[in-house]
Amino acid sequence: MVKMSVVPAHPLMLALAAGLVLSACVSSQPVEPPKPPVVEKPVAPLSYLPDDTADDPRDLNLAGDQLPPEPFRRAEIDFPTDEPPGTVIVDTTEKHLYLVEEGGKALRYGVGVGRSGFAWKGTVEIGSRQKWPRWFPPKEMIAREAGRGHNIPDMMEGQIGNPLGARALYLYDGPKDTLFRIHGTFDPKSIGTNASSGCIRMANADVMDLYERVKVGARVVVR
């Protein structure tokens, strides 16, 4: 059984236990030992431009200059680990996500993680994947933003500006949706920071790349 552990007395997970809808990561049901030294080399080819063979016109409308900060650009590295290839490891301290490969390698991506009060750790799995997911903000958020003079919709279609970005990987604890996602963002400057409500943010080009490499059921270790 997949088990998930959380920082003690964590208010977010207490809310999850109560069944509350919490954060901007909430969206529609999807349609479908010490650290070893790391030696970096660029992924070849390392491209952040949309693929002109994309089958969704929204992919082609993504700005090619929406790059994460330099220290968080995509790279292939030496990464000895006991985790099997295909495992996703998220280091919330270093703000990196690793996709374990064969031969002691990994693809490393920069991420944004949960801000103070929303950090969590555990082992989950990818329960579903979705391109251009819809976003359903919780009622609490709608009311809070209205009080600040900002009106946000009950639902936003998958589009440029959607808080979930171009792709979303839905994280499940067994059969239960944790409400956490690995998803894109149109705020690439937030990569490498503690900025989310518990979700794992990636530059859109990075989450699109990861989306094509992982499958439903893949193990995700958040540490």
Q: Is the pLDDT of residue 6 over 70?
A: no
Q: What is the pLDDT of residue 8?
A: 45
More confident residue, 14 or 47: 47
Instruction: Pick the closest to residue 175 from 133, 216, 130, 131 (CA basis).
Output: 216
Write out the two tokens for 104: 């002691």
Q: Is the pLDDT of residue 37 over 90?
A: no
- In contact, 135 and 155? CB cutoff 8 Å: yes
Q: What is the pLDDT of residue 12?
A: 40
Q: What is the pLDDT of residue 40?
A: 53
Is residue 84 included in any domain, yes or no?
A: yes
Q: What is the pLDDT of residue 136?
A: 86
Is residue 97 included in any domain, yes or no?
A: yes
Q: Dump pLDDT digits (tens) for 40-82.
A: 554 444 455 555 556 788 887 776 657 899 899 999 999 999 9
Is residue 36 included in any domain, yes or no?
A: yes
Q: What is the pLDDT of residue 28?
A: 52
Q: What is the pLDDT of residue 16?
A: 41
- When divided into structural domains, the chain yields a total of 1
- In contact, 67 and 48? CB cutoff 8 Å: yes
**Residue 190 to residue 197: CA distance in whole angstroms:** 13
**Residue 4 to residue 6: CA distance in whole angstroms:** 7
Is residue 2 included in any domain, yes or no?
A: no
Q: What is the pLDDT of residue 137?
A: 82
Q: Is the pLDDT of residue 18 over 50?
A: no
For residue 51, give the DSSP letter: P
Is residue 83 included in any domain, yes or no?
A: yes
Which helix (H) or strand (E) segment is 114 a member of?
strand 113-114
Is residue 102 included in any domain, yes or no?
A: yes
Is residue 3 included in any domain, yes or no?
A: no
pLDDT (mean) for 26-34: 51
Percent of the chain exceeding pLDDT 70 equals 74
Q: What is the pLDDT of residue 114?
A: 94
Complete DSSP assignment for 133-178: --B---HHHHHHHHHTT----S-B-SSTT-TT-SEEEEEEETTEEE
Measuring CA to CA, how many Å separate 111 from each of 11, 15, 192, 201? Answer: 22, 24, 6, 5
Greatest distance between any 2 Cα atoms in the chain: 53
Is residue 210 included in any domain, yes or no?
A: yes
Domain of 42, CATH number, reads 2.40.440.10
Provide the domain limits for residue 168: 11-222
204 Cα distance to chain centroid: 10
pTM to 2 decimals?
0.78
pLDDT (mean) for 142-164: 92
